[in-house]
Structure 1
């Protein structure tokens, strides 16, 4: 079951990522940059540390991505009013346009396939989502505090 789950989710993600990138403006962005833009789109004003946690990346890796996206005109990095040493991230208008294009392309690709699925398959997928989310959260907790490690 584990191998099949990983294979199917990886294939869906890879196919979706490839086809969506083809439908969106050039130049193509690396996957890590796209993922960061989606995190910021979903949580405007997020800080770098929280973005790193959401992406399961090191803070310095996200700082590098932020610098690249600021330079590309896709991200604003503003000082946090509560802590001038910290930054708050928001999308530029250009990034909002790209995100909308990615979402439309992804919805066209995967949404159409889901719409053609049988009602039973649609229900099974919808019913599996909460369990998959719980598994993801458990893996995140295990990575943060591996089982069997004395606290």
Structure 2
């Protein structure tokens, strides 16, 4: 059995490869959207009740920084600010249809790039990879949930 630190180093190296694949997919976009702006779009597309304070908290930035990011996205037609129907004093942040298309195209580009790499793997190894990733995800979720033994299995 490999030492946990050796496995951690191997995972880190693999994550660097994944990040390279994802960055190549992002740069292939036209126009290329900066990573911080993509993160904003991802956050608001996953939660329809995102306002500026929730966004700033999710990004771990001050509200003025989040607001500037939103200003840029709004200027490029990727974000809308609308009054929150539950509280008119709040402003809800919503992705535009163009942002939804951009995120979908990015997902498709990433998946195609990953598929190209996965095609080079033996099918049995791909199956092992899926099992290992499911176990890793389960352990990460358990850790985030405060599961002290972290022994949940996939």
**TM-score of the aligned structures, taking structure 2 as reference length:** 0.74
Task: Provide the residue aligned with 1:143 in structure 2.
Answer: none
Is 1:34 paired with 2:29?
no
Which residues of structure 1 form unaligned runs of 5+? 139-151
Instruction: Give the distance between the partners of 1:137 and 1:56, measured in 2 at CA.
Output: 20
Residue 137 of structure 1: CA displacement? Answer: 6.3
Distance in 2 (alpha carbons) for counterparts of 1:76 and 1:137: 33
Output the CA distance in 1 between the equivalents of 2:142 and 2:63.
25
Structure 2 CA distance, aligned partners of 1:31 and 1:76?
A: 19
Matched residue count: 136
Between the aligned partners of 1:60 and 1:134, the Cα distance in structure 2 is 34
Q: In structure 2, how many angstroms separate the alpha carbons of the residues matched to 1:105 and 1:43?
A: 23
Matched, 1:12 2:9: no
Paired position in structure 2 for 1:148? none
Question: Within 2, Cα distance between the matches of 1:57 and 1:11?
Answer: 28
Higher alpha-carbon Rg: 2
- Show structure 1 runs of 4+ deviating over 6 A: none
Greater relative contact order structure (CA < 8 Å, 6+ sep):
1
Query: How much does 1:128 deviate?
Result: 0.3
Q: TM-score when scaled to structure 1? A: 0.75
CA spacing shift, 1:24–1:124, aligned 2, 3 Å: same
Structure 1 equivalent of residue 133 of structure 2: 125
Residues 104-141 of structure 1: CA distance to partner in whole angstroms, max 9, x if unpaired? 00111124434646122221111101222444567xxx
